[in-house]
A and B are shown apart, each in its own frame.
Chain A
Amino acid sequence: MTIIEAFSWMNIRFLLDGLLVTVEVAVLSIIFSFIIGAILGLLRYMKIPIFSKIVGGIVDLIRNLPLLLIIFFTYFALPQIGIRLDIFWSAVAAMTIFESAMLSEIMRAGLNSVPSGQMEAGRSTGLTYLQTLWIIIIPQAFKAMVPPIVSQLISLIKDTSLATIISLPELTHNARIIYGQNTTYVIPMFIALAFFYFIICYALSKVAKRFETKLS
């Protein structure tokens, strides 16, 4: 029975190791890009002359590039200008660069969705601009941001599979190693891959949906 052999304890552990790396890269990247995305989104929302436009331009450039290209870039091109990162941190850096741009767009849209009257009301009660932003605008905007941020996390988890090209030992990479040894393991490994990714992403999408109905 190849199916039983394919899912030997050793292979399952190897897959779970890969899954752990997938989750680690995704979680680290989403945390970093949440912070950077929030800063960039705020800078664009505040409409500082020229500066906000420049930030917006850079965000648009990164958003419109394929993530795979950014992964190649951080791993193969950055060493040429003296920045050397190992495989793991190259993957995290690439995902962070890409996702920060995506999240800043979400943050900006979320901030813009708060009616401008809120800002005026805040200012007229004597709060400063930054106080109004922090106490009045951001909490309201946050509600609109949660569902798209979760769906961004879902694409991030799926996208970590691209880092298999720089041989990051994540789920897809480990599955490829297992079926590389024995072609009869190919189908079981694809089933395992689909299963693991689907379970995580589907569960997250349900969480996002629950937030959406709860918050609205």
Chain B
Amino acid sequence: MLTILTTYQDVLIDGFLNTLYSSIIALFFSLIIGTLMAIFQLSKNKWLKGLANAYVEFFKNIPLLIIVMFFYVVVPLYWFSIDGFTAGTIGLTIYTSAFIAETVRAGIMGVPKGQTEAGLSTGLTQNETMRYIILPQAFKIVIPPLGNQFINLVKNSSVLAMVTGLDLMYQGDLIASETFNTFDTYILIGLIYLIITLPLTYLMSYIERRLNVTS
């Protein structure tokens, strides 16, 4: 296992970084899209609400792989060429944004109604109340579940391997087929994933416990 690590050090670091990049890019954009969708879901506009509900329900209930393959297979066939990393990251963003929308929506609904009324009665508009009063409080509620979404994101980013996304899993697969030492290679790849996900898991359960104590 150590020889694999030293021989393929550069490839592994490359894959590790690509996994991280993909996860962080996807997290950033899915936070934006997810929050927007959550706000739309709670809005009074019938069309926006319907659109956001359809988006969330649709992408939550189909496999991530199908979304990623859509961008990798269908998009180049009819529109423009796209590499595996981009296709995978777009797919991850769309898939995760549906789950983040659910989480943020629950968070917004968790903020007491009086806060909205208080905001409105101080003369803030509906949008300002949402932006300055409700969302900051909602984000405090959703930090632990969002952390869990990020952990899922890192794990899910392994589907990039199925569309030549050059991530950790993909590189691991290549190394395994080159060395024929599948057992050690996959254990090594697993350990590298755990370097990212395990500390995050413990951090999140720590934060969750602390928030429970203070509230």
Q: Is the CB of A73 within 8 A of B73?
A: no
Q: How far is the CA of A95 from the CA of B181 in the complex (A)?
A: 23
Interface of A is mostly: helix
Q: How far is the CA of A63 from the CA of B152 in the complex (A)?
A: 10
B-side contacts of A80, CB under 8 Å: 181-183
Q: Is the CB of B182 within 8 A of A197?
A: no
B-side contacts of A66, CB under 8 Å: 155-158, 169, 193
Q: Which single residue of chain B is at the shortest CB-CB distance from A159? A: B63
Q: Is the CB of A61 within 8 A of B186?
A: no
Interface of B is mostly: helix
Q: Is the CB of B201 within 8 A of A77?
A: no
Q: How far is the CA of A76 from the CA of B78 in the complex (A)?
A: 35
Q: Is the CB of B169 within 8 A of A68?
A: yes
Q: Is the CB of B63 within 8 A of A190?
A: no
Number of A-B contacts defined by CB within 8 Å = 111
Q: Is the CB of A64 within 8 A of B61?
A: no
Q: Which single residue of chain A is at the shortest CB-CB distance from B19? A: A66
Flag whether A211 is at the interface (Cβ < 8 A).
no
Q: How far is the CA of A66 from the CA of B162 in the complex (A)?
A: 13
Q: How far is the CA of A68 from the CA of B169 in the complex (A)?
A: 8
CB contacts under 8 Å to B, within A128-186, are 154, 158-159, 161-162, 164-165, 172, 179, 183, 186
Q: Is the CB of A202 within 8 A of B198?
A: no
Q: Is the CB of A76 within 8 A of B186?
A: yes
Flag whether A17 is at the interface (Cβ < 8 A).
no
B-side contacts of A154, CB under 8 Å: 61
Flag whether A5 is at the interface (Cβ < 8 A).
no
Q: Which single residue of chain B is at the shortest CB-CB distance from A199? A: B61
Interface bin, chain A: 35 or more
Q: Which single residue of chain B is at the shortest CB-CB distance from A179? A: B73
Q: Is the CB of A197 within 8 A of B61?
A: yes
Minimum distance in angstroms from B178 CB to a CB of chain A: 13
Flag whether B213 is at the interface (Cβ < 8 A).
no
Minimum distance in angstroms from A184 CB to a CB of chain B: 10
Query: Given A69-B193, A72-B173, do A64 and B198 touch, yes or no (CB 8 Å)?
Result: yes
CB contacts under 8 Å to A, within B42-68, are 57-58, 60-66
Instruction: Digitize A30-49: 1 where CB-to-B-CB distance is under 8 Å, 0 elsewhere.
Output: 00000000000000000000
| Among B74, B182, B193, B201, contact of A60 (Cβ-Cβ < 8 Å) | B201
A-side contacts of B182, CB under 8 Å: 72, 76-77, 80
| Most B Cβ at <10 Å: residue of A65, A165, A179 | A65
Q: Which single residue of chain B is at the shortest CB-CB distance from A76? A: B182
Q: How far is the CA of A72 from the CA of B170 in the complex (A)?
A: 11
Q: Which single residue of chain B is at the shortest CB-CB distance from A163? A: B65
Q: How far is the CA of A193 from the CA of B186 in the complex (A)?
A: 30
Query: Given A67-B155, A68-B158, A183-B77, do A77 and B186 touch, yes or no (CB 8 Å)?
Result: yes
Flag whether A55 is at the interface (Cβ < 8 A).
no
Q: How far is the CA of A77 from the CA of B161 in the complex (A)?
A: 17
Query: Given A60-B198, A76-B176, do A161 and B66 touch, yes or no (CB 8 Å)?
Result: yes
Q: List chain A positions with a Cβ less than 8 A from chain B.
A: 60-61, 63-69, 72-73, 76-78, 80-81, 154, 158-159, 161-162, 164-165, 172, 179, 183, 186-187, 190, 193-194, 197-198, 201-202, 205
Given contacts A64-B198, A172-B66, A187-B78, 15 further A-B contacts (CB under 8 A): A65-B193, A66-B158, A66-B193, A68-B158, A69-B169, A69-B172, A76-B176, A80-B181, A158-B61, A162-B159, A172-B69, A183-B77, A186-B77, A190-B66, A197-B66
